[in-house]
Chains A and B, each alone.
Chain A
């Protein structure tokens, strides 16, 4: 594996590895909760980046896979008593299959039309799940308390959930790197630059796009199941929040779209900034406005994001940052 000798591979992987190990050695509940949220967004942003950063398709509905996968995983877990890890993976598989089906239809659209369609998919899914009885309709589903006994109580169950999340985020970042440096990934990058030219050069664009869509949908499904298990319930408003979907776009943009390390940094930075604004007495009421100003400045003046900017500015860093 050539990847193992590359610093661009080790930087994000070691970052997440050490971070998780640190939390596991500290063993504090509050630190774990904070790391859980941050890691979740790292995973979500990285998975969105597979579609957004590599193929250039702007999806406003990435959260739909978080919701649908989370709902399905939660359903397997609470209605059929499957083990957590299996439910989560099944949630991911359901997400990926749905992405394949949705993608076949929606990925024919380009540019703004695709972006609008993904908003429509998300809203339709939210409205449908609110009316779908097996998923509990508008009130959602709740964890069956007997599930915790298998873990030896709720406390150990939450730690186990954290470890699963940590590992799945690690895998997300590794897959993101592997795709970018594969033949498949180069095809995706070609689609981003010019889809028609890529097709002339022999990239099977419809298949490649759909596969990228499925890869990027698998991980939110798994993460969604783990997140809703941690929360103990799932409801349509949480699962299909359009706002969260756009926040993921912001994170990818902040770190640098199309880079492996960018979404990791972007997610941590955005969540860190938001946490700071929410807790500081001075900015508490205006946190959304300040985050907006910040986003506007980045979009207007640093559109390549932090990692993209560093790569453009310092050529030597291109070998280090991927």
Chain B
């Protein structure tokens, strides 16, 4: 029973990891940019939720809508300032440009919030499902994560801008020839990617304490998840998130918790070497 509880616990967090990874993989899939500012944006999502909750008393789950809008705008700004000029340059340029954004956000964040831990004091108690006890915050976070993923799916498949994003991801040149303004589409995808990161950050903030540096480990997890699911494949990223969350829930019941990252990154390298297109076999 303990096993089942840890598994479900891990899977619930996995949904949240999945949302962050979907953002990262969307950006990669559309413009082949590895966004190294993903982690700090997640940290900003945590702090926006925190500020809205402590200063204005907004319910953290309601605050997510504001956080998503904030993330979208932030993403558009980052794209315009840092990414647009290096979009067709070698990988090193876009990696370093997004890392520069990472440094700027963390630098300003450290000056404003310091690096001491914060937490959102908003308890929902626990939910009992027969013999399984689950913290309600995690259950709600998973529900919110699923909701955002469904919204993204509907957006990508049933709206015009969403279809334009998929067209550009498929073949930017051909999309441009069909009259799709690729610069705007790229900016929008970057915005949606960072919005998802900010939302994931906001969700994590509801059950873990955080600092401005907290985004880093989650960014690394997002890399692992994206590779597990296949870079550029949003559905794969969500399933990869569940896989990673499940592993994180189960591994500590068999061995010391400090071995979790060894296995995670070991798996990551193994998948990259054996099947770089991801366990779910995304088309490259």
Q: Give chain A's interface residues, CB within 8 Å of chain B.
A: 52, 56, 58, 105-106, 108-109, 111-113, 115-117, 119-121, 123-124, 126-128, 130-131, 138, 242, 246, 249-250, 253, 257, 285-293, 295-296, 299-300, 303
Contacts and interface: CB of A to CB of B under 8 A. Distances in A.
Interface string B88-99: 011111011101
B220 A119 contact: yes
A56 B89 CA distance: 13
A113 to B, nearest CB: 5
Interface string B70-104: 00000000000110011001111101110111111
Contact of B107 (A113, A123, A291, A303): A291
20 contacts: A105-B273, A106-B272, A113-B231, A113-B276, A117-B273, A120-B224, A120-B268, A123-B265, A124-B265, A124-B268, A253-B92, A285-B111, A286-B111, A287-B107, A288-B106, A288-B107, A289-B105, A292-B100, A296-B97, A299-B93
Contacts of B273: 105-106, 108-109, 117
Contacts of A293: 100, 104
Contacts of B262: 124, 127-128, 131
A138 B97 contact: no
B97 A115 contact: no
A248 to B, nearest CB: 12
B269 A120 contact: yes
Contacts of A131: 256, 258-259, 262
A249 B102 CA distance: 15
A215 B90 CA distance: 24
B258 to A, nearest CB: 5
B258 A138 contact: yes
A124 B92 contact: no
A113 B101 CA distance: 21
A296 B101 contact: yes
B223 interface: yes
Contacts of B266: 124
B163 to A, nearest CB: 26
A291 B103 contact: yes
A131 B257 CA distance: 10
Contacts of B90: 56
Contacts of A250: 96, 99
Q: Which of B34, B93, B110, B216 counts the most A-chain CB atoms under 10 A from its CB?
A: B34
Contacts of B242: none
Nearest to A123: B265
Contacts of B256: 131
A108 B273 CA distance: 8
Contacts of A126: 261
A253 B227 CA distance: 27
B96 A299 contact: yes
Contact of B111 (A105, A113, A249, A289): A289
B32 interface: yes
Contacts of B268: 120, 124
A271 B99 CA distance: 18
B108 A127 contact: no
B265 A295 contact: no
Contact of A116 (B86, B104, B227): B227
B272 A116 contact: yes
B97 A246 contact: no
Contacts of B102: 292
A112 B34 contact: yes
A123 B261 contact: yes
Given A128-B262, A130-B258, A295-B96, A286 B272 contact: no
A296 B99 CA distance: 8
Contact of B269 (A108, A111, A117, A246): A117
Contacts of B28: 112
A303 B258 CA distance: 40
A107 B91 CA distance: 16
Nearest to A192: B90
Nearest to A119: B223
Leading 3 A-B pairs by shortest Cβ distance: A289-B107, A292-B103, A288-B107
A112 B31 CA distance: 12
A119 B217 CA distance: 12
A300 B95 contact: no
A116 B268 CA distance: 9
Interface string B209-241: 000000010001001100100010000000000
Nearest to B32: A112
Given A242-B216, A300-B85, 16 more contacts: A116-B227, A119-B223, A120-B265, A123-B265, A124-B266, A127-B260, A131-B258, A138-B258, A249-B95, A250-B96, A257-B92, A292-B107, A295-B100, A299-B96, A300-B86, A300-B97
Contacts of B95: 58, 112, 115, 249
A242 B102 CA distance: 13
A303 B91 CA distance: 12
